[in-house]
Amino acid sequence: MSLRPSLLARLAARTAEREQANLRRRLRTIDHVDGPWLELDGKQLLSFCSNDYLGLAQHPQLIAAFKRVADDEGVGSGSAHLICGHRAEHAALEQALAEWTGRERALLFSTGYMANLGVQQALLSDGDVCVQDKLNHACLLDGAKLSGAELKRYPHGDVAGAARQLASRSTAAALLATDGVFSMDGDMAPLRELATLCTREGATLMVDDAHGLGVLGDDGAGSVAAAGLSPREVPVLMATLGKALGCHGAFVAGSAALIEGLLQSARPYIYTTAMPPALAAAALAAVQLARTESWRRERLNSHIERFRQGAAELGLALMPSSTAIQPLLLGDADTALAAAQMLEQHGFLVSAIRPPTVPAGQARLRITLSATHEEEHVDQLLEALAKLPQHGVPAPHV
């Protein structure tokens, strides 16, 4: 009999360890969605955990655009973009995204994870260095690891730390990659300072703006636009279509040379079926709404201000964030889970974020606000949070 260890048994053991530590993730099925309201296990819950920041996911114009194309051409694209899957709807969406972000071209990917893997695999090689914020999304970290380049991380938001990491490999080709808005903390990267550093050091700056696009900037063009940075200063921009735009998929925007290079070399693009053309049509409608209906951002910002002011009056330990992501740090994973369960009993769905998604001791409630919320919804959540047995712990100094 072979002495080789069983991979499935090892995986089962890891899952059992998660269960024992009360860190096992559990899949729950949402039965129905109506704006900020969800139906779960027969209960109506007010959701404060969705990334539908502008409330576009159920917008009639998106639904109509999807149905129009689906009725005419069906749902699936049937192929990868480079075979016969690239349709007029994809081309129109890419053009609109490039125009919105002020870049020459854009390229669609099926997911944001695939976009980040594809960009870094295409740009980086053995001997290169990729410098990243320690709190970057997992797909940025995975993309660097899979590229063959050396991954060097710096303390969160620490420009001097990023400079030290670049200086340690002063002759290597370098990519500095950062989230624009950090998905678990809700704060923004110091993009202007990082851009200045990259210009000085000859490094290429890449920004993942998954949680900034549609929300930040005068017309919602994102954190890079809000920072007043040019395509020359941020030559690689990635953002998703499944958060503020209420659809699915992602894109990379930049120079014509960058996009042509990705089209030739980014394996997650080349070898993946294109997103449904009906979905691309819906995303195009979302882009147009996000750009023109500035009241959605104004309403969202009003909710953010109202929530933070109310939280301060209650002494809640919110982390420093001016975005739609408002984390309440609770420290202990069991405390965070118990808080989420108590909120659900009071009619609210809020995610408890625990290790390994966040570091040990930094478990939290990840509260997200949306333009679909009413002021009374925000006030009701604050009233429920005030009843928690532990309001939270001071945010760690990083």
- Per-residue pLDDT of 359-379, as tens digits, reads 999 999 999 999 999 999 999
- The token duo for 135 is 């709190």
> Is pLDDT larger for residue 218 or for residue 70?
70
Q: What is the spatial distance between Cα 141 and Cα 160, in angstroms, rounded to a whole number?
A: 20
pLDDT in tens, 24-60: 989 999 999 999 999 999 999 999 999 999 999 999 9
Confidence of residue 110 (pLDDT cuts 50, 70, 90): very high
**Model pLDDT, residue 390:** 60
pLDDT above 90 for 395:
no
Binding residues for pyridoxal 5'-phosphate: 112-113, 183, 211, 240
Q: Can you read off the two tokens belonging to residue 319? A: 């982390």
Amino acid at 126: D
211 is known as an active-site residue:
yes
Nearest to 85 by CA among 77, 93, 73, 74: 77
246: pLDDT strictly greater than 70? yes
CATH 3.90.850.10, domain 60-292, yes or no: no
Q: What is the residue extent of each domain of the chain?
A: 28-57+294-385, 60-292
Element holding 390 (H helix, E strand): none
CB within 8 Å of 222: residues ≥ 6 apart: 101, 180, 209, 212, 213, 214, 215, 216, 237, 239
Candidates 181, 208, 225; CA nearest to 109 is 208
Residue closest to 127 by CA, chosen among 147, 107, 106: 147
Query: How many other CB atoms are found less than 10 A from the CB of residue 44?
Result: 11
Q: Is the confidence at residue 392, as pLDDT, over 60?
A: no
Residue 194's closest CA among 223, 228, 155, 159? 159
Euclidean distance between CA atoms 241 and 219, whole angstroms: 16
The DSSP call for residue 374 is -
Q: Is the dihedral of CA 288, 304, 349, 38 positive or negative?
A: negative
What's the pLDDT tens digit per position in 144-166?
A: 999 999 999 999 999 999 999 99
Q: Is residue 202 within a helix (H) or strand (E), and if so which, with residue range? A: none
Among 253, 256, 266, 247, CA closest to 224: 253
DSSP letters spanning 281-332 = HHHHHHHHHHHH-THHHHHHHHHHHHHHHHHHHHT--B-S--SSEEEEEEES
- Angle 175-248-307 (CA atoms, 0-180°, nearest 5)? 85
**Token digits of residue 259:** 């996009």
Instruction: State the Cα–Cα distance between residues 28 and 11, nearest whole angstrom.
Output: 21
- Annotated catalytic residue: which of 86, 152, 211, 303? 211
What's this model's pTM, rounded to 2 decimal places? 0.94
Cβ–Cβ under 8 Å, residues 185 and 327? yes
Of the CA atoms within 13 Å of residue 83, those in its CB half-sphere come to: 11
CA distance 151 to 162: 12
Residue 398 has pLDDT above 70, yes or no: no
Which residue in the list 243, 248, 373, 391 is annotated as catalytic? 243
Say whether 243 is catalytic: yes
Q: Length of the chain, please?
A: 398
Among residues 47, 77, 110, 183, which one is catalytic?
183
- Binding residue positions: 25, 112-113, 137, 183, 211, 240, 357
Query: CA–CA separation, 176 vs 148, rounded Å?
Result: 15
Residue 285 phi, psi (nearest 5): -60, -35
Buried b (16+ CB within 10 A) or exposed e, 299-309: bbbebbebbbe
Fold of 28-57+294-385: Aspartate Aminotransferase, domain 1 (3.90.1150)
Q: What is the mean pLDDT of residues 314-319?
A: 94
pLDDT at 327 > cutoff 90: yes
170 an active-site residue? Answer: no
Does residue 320 contact residue 79 with C-beta atoms inside 8 Å? no
Alpha helices in the chain (DSSP H): 7-20, 60-73, 88-101, 112-123, 138-147, 159-167, 191-201, 223-226, 256-265, 267-270, 277-292, 295-314, 333-345, 375-385
Rounded to the nearest 10°, the torsion over CA 28, 33, 39, 40 is 0
Percent of the chain with pLDDT over 90: 94
